[in-house]
Amino acid sequence: MNHLKLIYLSVFCVIISVLSFLNIIYSYYLNLYLNLNTYFYTFLISIFLAIIFYFIKSNDKKTTIYEKILTILFGYFLLPLIISIPFYLSIYNLTFVNSYFEAISGFTTTGFTIFDNIKHIDQSLILWRSASQWIGGLYFLFSIILLIDIFDNSFKKSLTNFISFNKAEVLKQSLKIFLLYSLITLGIFIILNFFNIRLFNSLNLAMTVISSGGFLPTNSLPNILINNSQIVVLSLLMLTSFFSIFLIYNLVFVKNHNLNFFNEDIHLLFYLLTLLVIFLLFFNFDNNFSDLFLSITSSVSNIGFSLDNNSTNISFVFLILVIIGGSFFSTSSGIRFLKIYSLFKYSINEILSYSKPKNIYINKHLFSKDTFKLDEIYKYFLSIIIFIISLLFLIFLLTLSGIEFESSFKISILTLMNTVNSSMYGLGNFSFYDLHFFTKYYLILFMIIGRVELITLLIISKKFLFKN
């Protein structure tokens, strides 16, 4: 096994050990001894695995793309297993399935929870839930760097001028991501505190927002946000997981600014402004745009937070926003806006070329000099096909489990898009605790499928189904 892959897993085991150590300190400081031993066990196990992964013998062969994908998939199963230890060994008598479900839901930044009442959980475990999202969002961003070679040039250029990464470049970009991710988290925490949101809630929300997660430190968002200014601020902060994590870095540190370098973020800005105008004109039924603004930003960033007074009449519209998603180099999920826009523009140009064959139609983005190639269009199309197949299959499984079709349809979308179920989608009272354990395993698998870039599934399928 290549050493780069082992270091990748070792680093995240170290991060889990650091977070468990911080939880130990936090528990001692606030005299929270109920689940203290569980963090000691997590610390020791994660440190042990980190050492094993780091010192295990490896070959010097170049890592193939298949090995990279399998490493990332392995991490999505292994790391939540470590994260589930405090849940399983806690005083709340959780089964292994429920503990692993909660850990997977956090690590994939989905936000489905088996806890019916967050008030019954001690603060250290609430903090651990939020930390599971934080490390999951970081893992997702690192996985993009590791798999950079399979992605399209238009996406690569929003990160760097490099087209292919060597080992040194992977480490350099990974360090940059870690620092940016940590600093943005700190910035969100400070801003939320400045607007008089409780310190504990600010800390949990900061880790949730940066990771595009769905766990709340209380039973509902109105328990945290008490005025319109707090609602607007949180709405704006949720956009940090909608735009590229490199946006601020590129604006501040990149010397040669040009529209081509910010191509995706400019498209996303116009998309967001268009949505705001449409919702303000046609969907602002209660003349309370601050609440509607929160629902919009929460949906496009795949977080899923909502206030309890949301109208379910437009839940399908919000689900569409969830499916579209945000930036490729963000922690949000979704098919990605730029892919859908590229497919739409290419399709329109193809139709026009047949109706007006003498005209020339160039397939390029509005704010870019580069044209998108036919093989990129094929990749985008295949991603959507895989999503539709996955969606239909999960709906079928959930319907067989006894869940009514409408709820199965909505839960399937939210699962694949890693977005929490809330009143905005008409699922605020849906209970995951009562689901059959087989159903929970379905959801665990598809939460991971939703977090892995869908084109990677096609590559793995090609490797194992079409061997020579």
Spacing of C-alpha 109 from chain mean position:
5
3-state class (DSSP) for residue 59: strand
Structure tokens at 399: 């319907």
Residue range 391-404, pLDDT digits in tens: 999 999 999 999 99
| 57-71, 273-287, 302-316, 361-375, range with the lowest pLDDT | 361-375
Question: Is the CB of residue 281 less than 8 Å from the CB of residue 392?
Answer: no
Mark residue 243 as left, alpha or beta (left: phi above 0; alpha: psi -120 to 50; beta: remaining): beta
3-state class (DSSP) for residue 235: helix
Helix crossing, 96-107 with 437-451: angle to 10°?
Answer: 20
Strand extents, DSSP E, 241-350: none
- The dihedral sign for the CA sequence 129, 131, 134, 135: negative
Question: Is the CB of residue 79 less than 8 Å from the CB of residue 139?
Answer: yes
Residue range 235-287, pLDDT digits in tens: 999 999 999 888 877 776 666 666 566 778 888 999 999 999 998 888 877 76
Residue range 159-170, pLDDT digits in tens: 544 445 566 667
Question: Is the CB of residue 119 less than 8 Å from the CB of residue 130?
Answer: no
| 33-42, 99-108, 256-265, range with the lowest pLDDT | 256-265
Contacts 24+ apart (CB under 8 A), 59-64: 59/1, 59/2, 60/2, 60/3, 61/2, 62/2, 63/2, 63/4, 63/5
The owner of tokens 């519209």 is 317
The owner of tokens 């498209």 is 267
Q: What average pLDDT does the segment 416-427 reach?
A: 92
Q: What average pLDDT does the segment 67-85 reach?
A: 92
Residue 74 C-beta-side C-alpha neighbours within 13 Å: 12
Question: Is the CB of residue 12 less than 8 Å from the CB of residue 69?
Answer: no
What does the alpha-carbon distance between residue 10 and residue 12 come to, in Å, rounded to a whole number? Answer: 5
**Total Cβ atoms within 10 A of residue 228:** 13
According to the model, what pLDDT value does residue 167 have?
65
Question: Is the CB of residue 412 less than 8 Å from the CB of residue 447?
Answer: no
Contacts 24+ apart (CB under 8 A), 411-415: 411/443, 412/446, 413/319, 413/322, 413/323, 414/110, 414/304, 414/319, 414/322, 415/110, 415/112, 415/443, 415/446, 415/447, 415/450
Q: Please provide the average confidence, as pLDDT, over all residues in the chain.
A: 85
Question: Is the CB of residue 304 less than 8 Å from the CB of residue 246?
Answer: no
Spacing of C-alpha 429 from chain mean position:
23
Question: Of residues 289 and 95, which shows the higher confidence score?
Answer: 95
Domain boundaries, the chain: 273-465
3-state class (DSSP) for residue 13: helix
What does the alpha-carbon distance between residue 205 and residue 183 come to, in Å, rounded to a whole number? Answer: 15
Residue range 206-237, pLDDT digits in tens: 999 999 999 999 998 999 998 899 999 999 99
Question: Is the CB of residue 219 less than 8 Å from the CB of residue 118?
Answer: yes
pLDDT confidence tier of residue 199, bands split at 50, 70 and 90: very high
According to the model, what pLDDT value does residue 360 have?
57
Q: Which of 49-63, 204-218, 441-455 has the highest mean pLDDT?
A: 204-218
What does the alpha-carbon distance between residue 303 and residue 221 come to, in Å, rounded to a whole number? Answer: 12
Q: Is the pLDDT of residue 191 over 90?
A: yes
Q: Is the pLDDT of residue 452 over 80?
A: yes
According to the model, what pLDDT value does residue 163 have?
44
List, in sequence order, the alpha helices (H) in 30-114.
Answer: 36-55, 65-83, 85-88, 96-107
Strand partners, 368: none
| 42-51, 368-377, 424-433, range with the lowest pLDDT | 368-377
The owner of tokens 């490199």 is 246
What does the alpha-carbon distance between residue 402 and residue 381 come to, in Å, rounded to a whole number? Answer: 32
| Kind and range of the H or E run holding 465 | helix 454-465
Q: Is the pLDDT of residue 15 over 70?
A: yes
Q: Is the pLDDT of residue 183 over 50?
A: yes
What does the alpha-carbon distance between residue 387 and residue 282 come to, in Å, rounded to a whole number? Answer: 30
